[in-house]
Structure 1
């Protein structure tokens, strides 16, 4: 392509983007087969060939789970940014700017209030695309804000976890979000409200050691990687070979660590059923 054509393509002056092979097809991370992007999106980002559940962000989650026109995003709380003035190969502040530009989100946890098959609920969704869904001050504060909104609206809080763990750029301040989230969950239970966790791929580290495993009901998407620490670290420590399905949703279910594994297509209906069971007593009292 000539320099002139390159400039013309860059200065499209509002012309519609061209349909190319890059956006027409999606390569599945599970079976590595090529799938029509539209078919993949209409299938809720689940591969129609191998059933691999791809990672999705808050906007897609809310659209899939809430009744149409019933939900509203809860404003992200303001926190101190880059409290340690951290820098590795890049400034932490620059990493935040890049993540915000890529995801259009303020940070890695977004809350929304709405209805699931008529049941009011607050849903929090961690976005792995935002710095690996890492837990820092903003995520901790957003979690507390989500719980406070659930208490105010007198409804369950449902959290969708997807995280590599604590955010290293915030040091000990990120680890402090573990007890903060635990206290928030106690507040929710003192109010007599359900706390439901949906584990998605991947959930690990400090998040797994905190609010990800404290649900009244523990649900997971199929074949999600769920772990506190890495497989190689465990094998080198215990000097044994781990099972092939170790640290997967199915392994956790088999060993009683979670309550159910639910396909994304059935997730809304299952959440509505669970919420209906857990709040039935309150409806009768009302």
Structure 2
């Protein structure tokens, strides 16, 4: 039997909020899905191009308040964007992206049309940390440029990539922002301490940043990596500069994340740092 939902509210011709027999409140998006429909009417769920939940009352309110400020065609276009992201990332997205990314892109388009731009000083770090999300974000920006007839600033690629990463990892944007800014700070500490300028186009830089990201992720969730005391003692004796620097970095991470750091992180950091020193000479 064809599954039906009951309309609670028609937000516009393309968006309705409905009551689902299992999931309770759902949002249905589809071309003309709300046209001439009233509260209490039933509708086949298969008529929607996209169905998602809004469990958080605050997100629901934000989404409802956002819609009057954007064209109905734009909501339809955002549905195309989200389907593209989901297909390219090959996984379902956290539902919060419907609110967050729609809000971000709607106002970013408005800024671009008025030639107002925001710089993104961490663009290179974002590309290095989240290469797949960055590539998909580039495709999204191309879709927007073609649809709106504008030239989105390059910095928007980074912001959209962060929204995508948030949606595929269930991390908050606040945590993601804090983490990549912390990684940028750690790289600066390394450059200052070793008196080098790391070439960001090298494999060593990519490996270092990816390792720092994994370290920050492990610390964030409280995961221990495990290690050997004998190896730590050997590294401390053989590479004192890098070993001491690794502990300096650990203290920065402890302070910024406000969480303990497994001692074994020093082993892996020392090895990465020594690779940089070897390539410096």
Q: TM-score, length-normalised on structure 2? A: 0.24
Instruction: Please tell me whether Structure 1 or Structure 2 has the larger radius of gyration of its CA atoms.
Output: 2
Which has more strand, going by share of residues?
A: 1
Which has more helix, going by share of residues?
A: 2
Q: TM-score, length-normalised on structure 1? A: 0.24
